[in-house]
Amino acid sequence: MDDFERELKSGFLEEACQLINDAEQSFLILESNPNDLPTLEKIFRIAHNIKGSSKAVGFDSLGAFTHEFESFLLKCKNGQFAVTFKTVSLMLKCIDHIRTGLEELTRDYSFVIVSDDLIKELHAFVPDAVVEQVVVAQEEEKVEISAEEMALIQAFNAAPESAVFEADQFSSIESTVENSVAQAQVEAIAQVIPMPVFAAPAPVAAAITAVAATQVTPAKQVATPAAASSSPSASTGGSTDESIRVSLARVEKLINFVGELVILQTVLNEQSFGGNPQALRTTIQQLGKVTKEVQELSMGLRMVPMKQTFQKMQRIVRDTSSALGKKVNLVLEGEETEVDKTVLEALGDPLVHLIRNAVDHGIEMPEDRIASGKPEQGEVVLKAYHQSGKLVIEIKDNGGGILAERLKQKAIEKNIIRANQEISEKDAINLIFHPGFSTKAQVTEVSGRGVGMDVVKTNISQLQGEIDVSTVPGSGSVFKIVLPLTLAIIDGMIVKCGDEKYIIPLTHVHESLKPEINDIKKATGLGEVLLLRGENLPVVRLATALGKKKQLKEQSEQIAVIIRTQSEAFATMVDDIIGQHQVVIKKLGSEMNHVRGYSGSAILGDGKPALILEMGDLVHQKRQAV
């Protein structure tokens, strides 16, 4: 397989994945509005696009299934099948099948998609109802077909599948197609011309394919030169580069600033020999400003709207509510809110768990809602917005809320807490994040295994974020996620422990101070605590958390860095604070994947590396070790 063919296949797979996502959303729109003819037309065009393009790049098995799917959609488009829950369910099943096939083809270009069972299901489908087709009155120009052309058409109909026709036999038809201006003409030709296997130059092939674009029941397949020469060869898929859509305005602005950098570099080069320190300092300041602009613009290239990820949740709500026999409406707000692509990709799984949890545990059964004076249909709101330089995502439901006492009882039953242990209502609610915890009596396909919410907590922590839960029994719950907008650059506090420098993300740093000796005392069951304005904060020696023997400075000279998250607060004792700087995060090697407490590394101003600490993880490890 040459580079050109590989590029064609890669481009098709990327575009097809986007089309599939668009189709899925269109199906969900169509389900709520079955008479939405433009949406149905859009779905049909998507299926036709994938069918034609997949065959053109050599993915014949995908093209064959999409052809059958297109025929099914045509029956819906023509009014033979009513658009009902049953119809849309089968459509979504087909979309999932195509999506799985695209994923496999991305890994291996020679993969063959087996669709026999699903094709049989499409053929055997019995609709809930048949609707009368809506006919829009319009003037249509008639196509006049000569006797010679009609004779050629009849020859096509009578010819076997393997028949090959020469290009000159299509000249008159090509002329007819090129001269057609009305869509009605093209459709009329498509109704009577079944597609033959032909040997024709590219212009003729393009003309015939244009007619085939609206064909209803093709009797023979097209074998274009491109399709014939692009059958799967070596299994060399998989390593396709990810791409991202970027605003042209952003790119142009970035190019302009890069131009300024080049100019400033030339100026600096000349001033380095001029002996004018003041001019040199001025140029360096200008260079710093432009560099910061380039940095912000470059980071902006990675920012993408949350729309696609949010819209995927509509499918989750539909399938989950259907499986549970509930009626749930999903409301999306802030779909255009932008976030770093890497953050968005890592956010997908936590959102799926939270949305399922809201439908399963939050929203009550329809009869229970009616009995409590609520509307039969529940509502889940998924909302995103920016706040104080952070991304905030809220998942809110108007269900029954979380009962803290019930969670306590379940935790006692599962030996997570002691029967006589006193915990606050907030801590009781946070028990839902405990591994293995579930309030379900029976395991179902949706929930009950005790996995999900703990995964959410872990994934959010890995994204340097926090999750908080608030609830009102009988009215509903709100899960609030706060995340950094990007994981590539962070504001960090550079601290010293012994001879080493470390970075603590400023997202969790509340304040720093130098406590008096009497401010730190030992408390039974808590160890060292810092008395800060009437609050007792657990003290964690950074050296102890890092496994070092001792810190460089004596206790009286150490500085306390106060760490506050939505779930805990503590004081970390460090030897010194070097300063606060923006740092570029570098991922740690795969050999560090099992080590908790470190989110990456960064190169400091002196050219030396420093580890970025996740203080929450370090503290938890220390407590578990004790």
Residue 73 lies in a domain: yes
Note whether 215 and 284 are same-domain residues: no
What token pair was written down for 169?
Answer: 């036999």
Residue 574 lies in a domain: yes
List helix spans (H) across 78-215. 85-107, 116-123, 147-158, 171-179, 183-192, 202-212
Distances in whole angstroms, Cα of residue 236 to Cα of each of 92, 102, 364: 29, 14, 50
> Is pLDDT of 168 > 90?
no
Residue 194 lies in a domain: yes
What token pair was written down for 110?
Answer: 């020679």
Average of per-residue pLDDT values in the chain: 77
> 101-115, 244-258, 427-441, 548-562: lowest mean pLDDT where?
427-441
Per-residue pLDDT reduced to its tens digit, 319-328: 899 989 999 9
pLDDT of residue 190: 41
Note whether 53 and 98 are same-domain residues: yes
> Is pLDDT of 202 > 70?
no
Hey, is 391 helix, strand or coil? Answer: strand
Other Cβ atoms within 10 Å of 591 Cβ, number: 7
Note whether 462 and 338 are same-domain residues: yes
> Is pLDDT of 378 > 50?
yes
CA dist 98 and 184 (Å) reads: 31
> Is pLDDT of 399 > 60?
yes
When pLDDT is cut at 50, 70 and 90, the band that residue 411 belongs to is confident
DSSP per position, 51-111: HHHHHHTT-HHHHHHHHHHHHHHHHHHTTSS---HHHHHHHHHHHHHHHHHHHHHHH-TT-
pLDDT (average), residues 611-618: 85
Note whether 166 and 213 are same-domain residues: yes
Higher-pLDDT residue of 36 and 623 is 36
> Is pLDDT of 584 > 60?
yes
> Is pLDDT of 444 > 60?
no
DSSP per position, 257-297: HHHHHHHHHHHHHHHTTTT-HHHHHHHHHHHHHHHHHHHHH
Range of 199-213, 293-307, 310-324 with top mean pLDDT: 310-324
Query: In which residue are the tokens 């420098």 written?
Result: 501
Q: Phi and psi for 567 in degrees, rounded to 5?
A: -110, -15
> Is pLDDT of 211 > 60?
no
**What is the CB-side half-sphere exposure of residue 44 using CA atoms within 13 A?**
18
When divided into structural domains, the chain yields a total of 5
pLDDT of residue 167: 42
**Domain endpoint, select from 88, 123, 158:** 123
Taking a C-beta distance cutoff of 8 angstroms, is the pair 394, 478 a contact?
A: yes
Residue 500 lies in a domain: yes
Taking a C-beta distance cutoff of 8 angstroms, is the pair 190, 215 a contact?
A: yes
Residue 563 lies in a domain: yes
> Is pLDDT of 267 > 70?
yes
> 364-368, 449-453, 546-550: lowest mean pLDDT where?
449-453
Higher-pLDDT residue of 288 and 166 is 288
pLDDT of residue 187: 42
> Is pLDDT of 359 > 80?
yes
> Is pLDDT of 489 > 90?
no
Note whether 161 and 269 are same-domain residues: no
Residue 159 lies in a domain: yes
pLDDT of residue 572: 92
4: Cβ contacts below 8 Å, ≥ 6 apart: none
Note whether 479 and 345 are same-domain residues: yes
Higher-pLDDT residue of 212 and 20 is 20
Query: In which residue are the tokens 């709100």 written?
Result: 478
pLDDT of residue 163: 47
Query: Domain of 597: which CATH number?
Result: 2.40.50.180
Per-residue pLDDT reduced to its tens digit, 221-240: 333 333 333 333 344 444 44
When pLDDT is cut at 50, 70 and 90, the band that residue 566 belongs to is low
pLDDT (average), residues 248-259: 87
> 43-52, 345-354, 583-592: lowest mean pLDDT where?
583-592
User: Which contiguous run of DSSP H or E holds residue 340?
Assistant: strand 338-340
pLDDT of residue 441: 53
pLDDT (average), residues 393-421: 87
Note whether 191 and 48 are same-domain residues: no
CA dist 208 and 223 (Å) reads: 11
Taking a C-beta distance cutoff of 8 angstroms, is the pair 469, 478 a contact?
A: yes
**Domain endpoint, select from 228, 257, 277:** 228
When pLDDT is cut at 50, 70 and 90, the band that residue 577 belongs to is very high
Residue 235 lies in a domain: no
> Is pLDDT of 137 > 80?
no
Note whether 221 and 357 are same-domain residues: no
Other Cβ atoms within 10 Å of 212 Cβ, number: 19
What token pair was written down for 199?
Answer: 């040997």
384: Cβ contacts below 8 Å, ≥ 6 apart: 306, 310, 333, 334, 335, 337, 339, 391, 392, 393, 394
CB environment 57-90: b (16+ within 10 A), e (fewer): bbbbbbbbbbbbbbbbbbebbeeebebeeebbeb
CA dist 565 and 409 (Å) reads: 27
Backbone dihedral region of 31: left (phi > 0), alpha (psi from -120 to 50 degrees) or beta?
alpha
Note whether 324 and 439 are same-domain residues: yes
When pLDDT is cut at 50, 70 and 90, the band that residue 185 belongs to is very low
Counting Cβ atoms within 10 Å, is residue 606 exposed (0-12), middle (13-18) or buried (19+)?
Answer: exposed
Note whether 313 and 435 are same-domain residues: yes
> Is pLDDT of 495 > 70?
yes
> Is pLDDT of 501 > 70?
yes
Note whether 553 and 619 are same-domain residues: yes
Q: Closest Cα partner for 473 from 415, 381, 407?
A: 407
Hey, is 624 helix, strand or coil? Answer: helix
Backbone dihedral region of 9: left (phi > 0), alpha (psi from -120 to 50 degrees) or beta?
alpha
pLDDT (average), residues 291-302: 81
pLDDT of residue 292: 82
**Domain endpoint, select from 451, 484, 517:** 484
Q: Phi and psi for 103 in degrees, rounded to 5?
A: -65, -40
Residue 434 lies in a domain: yes
Q: What pTM was estimated for this model as a whole? A: 0.61
Taking a C-beta distance cutoff of 8 angstroms, is the pair 336, 308 a contact?
A: no
Q: Identity (one letter) of the amino acid at 219?
A: A
Query: Domain of 419: which CATH number?
Result: 3.30.565.10
Provide the domain limits for residue 381: 304-484
DSSP 361: I
Q: Phi and psi for 399 in degrees, rounded to 5?
A: -90, -145
Note whether 196 and 260 are same-domain residues: no
